[in-house]
Structure 1
Amino acid sequence: MMGSGKTTVGKILAQVLSYSFFDSDALIEKTMDGTSVAEIFTLYGESFFRDKETEVLRKLSLIDRHVISTGGGAVTRPINWKYMQKGITLWLDVPLEALARRIAAVGTDSRPLLHHESGDAYTKAFKRLSALFEERGESYAQAKARVSLEKIAFRLGHGDVSKLTPTVIAIEALEQIEGLLEEEGGMAIAGF
């Protein structure tokens, strides 16, 4: 979901693994001569953006040893899953209330899917995130690994997921990835 920390955690994972890092939204903006995602939605519509997203994921699926932060809606197209399943897919599962607080704190201007809701920033974000999760939840659950911030917070004795650092979240992600590789008979991740 938007605001879950995909880019921040993805950069940490890439650094630890000595992989390249790609943000699919940033790559789309680059192909559009710097036009922001919000502007692409306004000028060309969501379908156009999703077509660009699919093309970026197709190209990235052809290379190895990288971490990709996708847009939260990438899961809405089955073809994107085909490309993403060439690696280990990871769902950063953040409670909607926490996501809404994060997004409200920085503003909703850069979030094109939030522009049609009414109310204050938190209410707008929470309403739309709830609707998006209703649409996408089953797709997110298809990820090979799920990093539940609620579970991490509980295990560490935190009452609020906002107290978790991106590094703590990345460590949990790495542990899950290592578990998947061991289950599949692959090599374990060393060095963390």
Structure 2
Amino acid sequence: MATLASTRAFHVFHRHFQVVTPRFPRSLLEAPKPKRHPLHQPLPSLCPCVPPLTSSPKSLSITFSLPDGASSIKKKAMEISPVLKGTSIFLIFQCKGMNSTIKTNVGKLLADALRYYHFDSDSLVEEACGGESAAKSLKEQDEKGFRDSETEVLKQLSSMGRLVVCAGDGSVQSSTNLALLRHGISIWIDVPIEMVAKNMIEEGVQIPVTELSTAESYSETGDNQVFAQLAVVYEEMKGGYATADASVSLQKVASQLGYDDLDAVTTEDMAMEVLKEIQRLTRLKKMMEEAARPF
């Protein structure tokens, strides 16, 4: 079952990357695509049997149309693009911490500003499994097969450049997946657990049984139980979140902008903060390179 799941993920990814006419200049597509971000040490080949995919995604619509008021985001993206040199960006979202609409909008806004492609790794995994309900069923009946699908999707994504990838908890649940994230720049989108629980309750999202510790028992009911269960999952995964190159805290962004309500933070606010973190990382890399130069 595990082999079948990973094979499906491989074929789904190939369907997304059939050759089509690109919507942006060919010179942009032909730029070198790094296999890893230069901040990290070289990694051994994790999957030599899977060839890298370099053609344009057929199923994606790239318009590069930024929303009103996003000119500052575009300007910031233009500043850091020459330094990025096509390095992919992995956005790690915790436990469905932001609803799917906001999650997608942040990723797409960054992709448009950087002239990158946008992917949601969880959506690709669901497609590989045959849909959302099939993915849920596989996760409950064959967790290893489901995790293999997640890893296969990440392998394919990490083999390419010029991508903004929205990744879920699965991206930090194994050493293999964490190593794959290091082929790009990873940013953890840190959302307060209280807000995560609120969103899950409003959207009717349940934490899969496979993600809960069987040793835990909960006396709470209703909303308190959701929060308690979520706190357990967060404790188990925070080590993986912490391995990201940088984090963007929703609470910190709201404080910096003078917002009393976290819901007041916009997609543009989060995207700008991500770009600032990426710029900080690239500047740090440059300083380290200059410090290492001989006199």
Matches of 1:168 and 1:89, distance apart in 2: 18
Q: Which is helix-richer, 1 or 2?
A: 1
Residue matched to 2:246: 145
1:182 Cα deviation after fit: 2.0
Give the distance between the partners of 2:128 and 2:284, measured in 1 at CA. 38
Pairing partner for 2:285 from 179, 184, 188: 184
**Match of 1:60?**
157
Distance 1:154 1:181, change over 3 A: same
Question: What amino acid does structure 1 have at the position aligned with 2:221?
Answer: G
Residue 29 of structure 1 deviates from its aligned partner by 1.5
* Cα distance between partner residues in 2 of 1:77 and 1:115: 14
Go from structure 1 to structure 2 and tell me whether the alpha carbon gap of 1:10 and 1:105 turns closer, same or farther (over 3 Å shift). same
Please state whether the residue corresponding to 1:184 is helix, strand or coil.
helix
Tell whether the 8 Å contact from 2:150 to 2:170 is kept in structure 1 after alignment.
no
Q: How many matched pairs?
A: 183
With over 3 angstroms needed to count, the CA separation of the structure-2 counterparts of 1:124 and 1:177, relative to structure 1, is: same
What SS class does the counterpart of residue 247 from structure 2 fall into?
Answer: strand
State the alpha-carbon separation in 2 of the partners of residues 134 and 115 from structure 1: 12
Runs (5+) with no aligned partner, structure 1: 187-192
User: Which string of whole-angstrom CA distances, capped at 9 and with x for unpartnered residues, describes residues 20-67 of structure 1?
Assistant: 11111111121122244323323x333221111011101111110001
Instruction: Look up the equivalent residue of 1:24 and give its one-letter code.
Output: S
Aligned to 1:167: 268
Instruction: Tell me if 1:15 matches 2:120.
Output: no
Q: Decide which of 112, 116, 119 is 2:221's aligned counterpart.
A: 119
Distance 1:9 1:114 in 2: 28
* Structure 1 residue 112, shift from structure 2 partner: 2.6
Partner of 1:63, secondary structure, is coil
Conserved? CA contact 1:149–1:161, under 8 Å: yes
Matched, 1:40 2:138: yes
CA contact (8 A) 1:50 1:74 kept: no
SS at structure 2 position matched to 1:97: helix
Change (3 A) 1:114 1:79: closer
Deviation by residue 1:121-163 (Cα, 9 ceiling, x = unmatched) = x334312220111111121111101001111111111223222
The equivalent of 1:128 in structure 2 is 229
CA distance in 2, matches of 1:160, 1:45: 41
TM-score (norm 2): 0.57
Give me the whole-angstrom Cα distance separating, in 2, the residues matched to 1:38 and 1:164: 31
Task: Return closer, same or farther for 1:113/1:73 CA change in 2, 3 Å cut-off.
Answer: farther
Q: Describe the shift of the 1:23–1:171 C-alpha distance in structure 2 as closer, same or farther (beyond 3 A).
A: same
Secondary structure, counterpart of 1:158 in structure 2: coil
- State how far apart, in whole Å, the 1-side matches of 2:284 and 2:231 are: 34
What is residue 156 of structure 1 aligned with on the other side?
257
Check conservation: 2:194, 2:227, Cα contact below 8 A: yes
Specify the code of the residue in structure 2 equivalent to 1:112: P
**Could you tell me which residue of structure 2 aligns to residue 189 of structure 1?**
none
Structure 2: state its 5+ residue gaps. Answer: 1-93, 213-217, 288-295
Alpha-carbon shift at residue 113 of structure 1 (Å) = 4.8
| The 10-residue stretch of structure 1 (149-158 or 26-35) with the greater mean CA deviation from structure 2 | 26-35
After TM superposition, the runs of 4+ consecutive aligned structure 1 residues lying more than 4 A away are 113-118
CA contact (8 A) 1:114 1:124 kept: no
Q: Which amino acid aligns with 1:176?
A: E
Please report the RMSD computed on the Cα atoms of aligned residues, expressed in angstroms: 2.2
